[in-house]
Structure 1
Amino acid sequence: MAEEVKEKAEALDPRFMTSLARGLEVLAAFEGQEGLSVTQAAKLTGLPRSAVGRCLFTLERLGYVAAEGTSYRLCPGVLPLGRAFLLGDSLARAGQPVVEALRDRLGESSSLAMFDTRSRHRAVLYVCRAETMRIISVPLLIGSMLPSYCTSNGRVLLAALTPDALRAYLAGAELAARTAKTLTNTQALQAELARVRDQGWAMTDGELEPGLRSIAVPVRGPDGQALAALNLATQSAHRDQGWLLHTALPELQAAAAHLGRVAFR
C-alpha cells in the first residue's frame, strides 16, 4: 500500500494500524529477493530506514526473518501464512487437482489465479500451479504475481469487474510495454476487455513475454461472479492459436465449471 493511501486510511479510520501495515510491507518486499539490508528494504517500500529497522528487528524476534551480517533473509516461519490461505480458501483447495489434471491431459502448464487484493486489480496472484516446463524467464510458482492488463488470467478478471470498478482501474492503470505486442493504449485495452466479457474467455499472444501464448476462462461462484481465472499457457512455437481455441478452450471451460461446482458444494 502506498504511503499516501496509508495516511488516508489512518485519517478516515483510527483503527488502522500503521505499524502493522509497515511490517507487512517490509515482509512483502522480500518477494524475489534472496536477502535485503535495511537500506534496500527502505528503498523498495518507500518507508523510513528507522521504521524498516524496527520492523525487521520485530520480524526477526518472531522468527519470520533472520539476520545475516547487514542483511536479512526470510525464514521457514513465513510458510504457514500462505498455507493458511491455501487450506482455508475453497477454490484454492479444490483447484490444485484441477490444474494438474489439465496439465496431464493437454501437456501444457496450467494455473488458477485471483486478483492480488493488495493492488486494486493491478495484478493477479497464482494460487494453484501445474507446470510442464519453464515458459517464462522467471519461475512461476504458487504466490507468483503478474500484471493484470497483459495476461489472459488478468483480462478475464478485469472483464468481470463492475463498470465503476473497471473505470477506476483504467484511470490509474500503468500499461507498460512488456513486448512489442503489449496493449498500452487504454481505449484498446477497454475494447479488448469488452470482447473478453462477451466471448467468455481471453487469449494473449506474446504480450507478457515474446513467444508466450495463453488462454483463460473465468471460474464462477454460486452467484455467477467470476472469483478466479483458469488458464493454460504454452510457447507459440509449440502450439498455435487454433489449438488453444479448439482443443484447450473446451477443456478449460469444462474444468472451470467442474471447479466451480466442487469448490462450493
Structure 2
Amino acid sequence: MERGLRILSAFTGNRSVLGIADLARTVGLNKSTTHRYVATLTKLGYIQQDPETRKYFLGPRAADLGFAAIDSMELGKVAGPLLQALADETGCTVSMGLCDGPDVVYVDRRRSARRNAAAMDLNLHVGSRLPAYCTSMGKVLLAFKDAAALRQILDHTDMARRGPKTITNREQLTAALAKVRQSGVAVNDEELAPGLRSFAAPVRDRSGEVVAAVNVAVHLTVAPTAVEALAARIEPPLRRTTAEISRRLGHRP
C-alpha cells in the first residue's frame, strides 16, 4: 500500500506524465517492481497510460479520491458550528455520521453547553462504528442508497436484536427505509439500546447526493414523553440544521 501511494504521489503539477523509468527513479524502486505496482494501479483506474507515448498519468479514481478528501474536510469545517448550535438548542447530544458498508461511522459528536442538558452518552466518539440497520443515522444513509447498493449492504448485514424494538426482518426494514425517503427523517425508537431514542436527517452535497446524516439522541430517563411529542420538538431544528449544512455544501433543492 505504501509503495502504491508513493507512486501516486510522484505525479505532481510539473511532473504529471511519467514513464516507468521516471517513476522508478522517483520512488526508489527497480523498474520491474514499479511496473508491477503501476499495472495494478492502472487496472484499478488510479493511473492511465497514453497508448502512443506509453507514459502514465493520474486516472479518474485518483481524482475521485482528491475530491472526496476535499469534500470531507469541507463537511467537517461547515458542519461543526451548526452541530454545536443544534446541541445547545435542543439540550441533546448531536452526532454526524458517514456510511461505510453496513456500518455508520461517527465523524463528529457534540454535547450541549446547557447546564441541564439531556446529553446521551453511549461511550461513543469520533471513529466509533455502529450497525446502520438499527440506528437513525444508519437508516437515513441506507434509505438513499440505490437499490443495488442497498441490496448488497443488506446481504452482508446480520440483523440481530440489539434493543427491545430492533427491526430484525429485512422486508420490514426495507419498508421503514421507504418511509424515511418519503419523510426525510429517520426515527430510532429503542432499536439500538433500551431507552434510547434518536432522530436523524440527511446532509446532501452540491450534486444532491446524501453524503452524511445528523442525529439528535435522547434517553427516556431524561425525556419520558411519547415519541410523537419528542419528534415535534426535535425534528424542526434538526431539519433546519441539515438543510443549512447542505446549503453551505452547495446543495440547491
TM over 0.5: yes
CA contact (8 A) 2:92 2:119 kept: no
User: Does residue 223 in structure 1 map to residue 207 in structure 2?
Assistant: yes
Q: Give, in angstroms, the shift of residue 255 of structure 1.
A: 0.5
The CA deviation string for residues 212-242 of structure 1, in whole angstroms up to 9 with x for no partner, is: 0000000111221111101100002323313
- Partner residue of 1:248? 234
Contact persistence 1:183–1:207 (CA under 8 A): yes
TM-superposition CA deviations, 1:112-155 (whole Å, max 9, x none)? 11113xxx2x1111111102476344x11111111100000000
The answer on whether the counterparts of 1:218 and 1:256 sit within 8 Å (CA) in structure 2 is: yes
**Contact 1:156–1:229 (Cα < 8 Å) also in 2:** yes
Q: Partner letter of residue 239 of structure 2?
A: Q
The residue aligned with 1:213 is 197
Which of 74, 80, 83 is matched with 1:90 structurally? 74
Distance (Å, rounded) in 2 between the aligned partners of 1:213 and 1:191: 20
Partner of 2:104: 124
Q: Is contact 2:206-2:249 (8 Å) kept? A: no
The answer for the alignment partner of 2:162 in structure 1 is 178
Give aligned pairs, total.
180
Partner of 1:169: 153
Q: How far apart in 2 are the matches of 1:91 and 1:193? A: 24
Distance 1:180 1:242 in 2: 18
Structure 1 partner of 2:177: 193
* 8 A contact 1:136–1:212 mirrored in 2: no
Q: Amino acid of the residue matched to residue 120 of structure 2?
A: I
Shift of 1:86: 9.8
- Deviation digits for residues 176-214 of structure 1, max 9, x if unmatched? 111231111111111111111111110011111100000
Amino acid of the structure 2 residue aligned with 1:125: V
Return closer, same or farther for 1:172/1:216 CA change in 2, 3 Å cut-off: same
Taking the aligned partners of 2:144 and 2:71, their CA distance within structure 1 comes to: 26
Deviation at 1:14? Answer: 3.6
CA contact (8 A) 1:108 1:234 kept: yes
Moved over 3 A (4+): 13-16, 85-88
Give me the TM-score of the superposition, normalised by structure 2: 0.66
CA change 1:88–1:161 in 2 (3 A) is closer
The 1:88–1:170 alpha-carbon spacing in structure 2 relative to 1, beyond 3 Å, is closer
Task: Quote the sequence identity (%).
Answer: 37
Gaps of 5+ in 2: 1-38, 43-68, 113-117
2:104–2:137 CA contact under 8 A, matched in 1: yes
| 1:91/1:243 CA distance change after superposition, 3 Å | farther
Structure 1 residues 247 and 86, CA, compared in 2 at 3 Å: closer, same or farther?
A: farther
RMSD, aligned CA: 2.2
CA displacement 1:153-180 (0-9 Å, x = unmatched): 0000000000111111222221111123
Structure whose CA Rg is larger: 2
Is 2:120 the partner of 1:135? Answer: yes
Matched residue of 1:146: which SS?
Answer: strand
SS at structure 2 position matched to 1:149 = helix
Q: For 2:154, give the aligned amino acid.
A: L
- Which whole-Å CA distance do the structure 2 matches of 1:208 and 1:88 have between them? 27
Q: Write out per-residue CA displacement over residues 38-91 of structure 1, whole angstroms, 9 at most, x where no aligned residue.
A: xxxxxxxxxxxxxxxxxxxxxxxxxxxxxxxxxxxxxxxxxxxxxxx6995211
TM-score relative to the length of structure 1: 0.63
Distance 2:143 2:244 in 1: 21
Amino acid at match of 1:261: R
Going from structure 1 to structure 2, the CA distance change for 1:180 and 1:246 (only over 3 Å counts) comes to: closer
Q: Report the counterpart of residue 44 of structure 1 in structure 2.
A: none
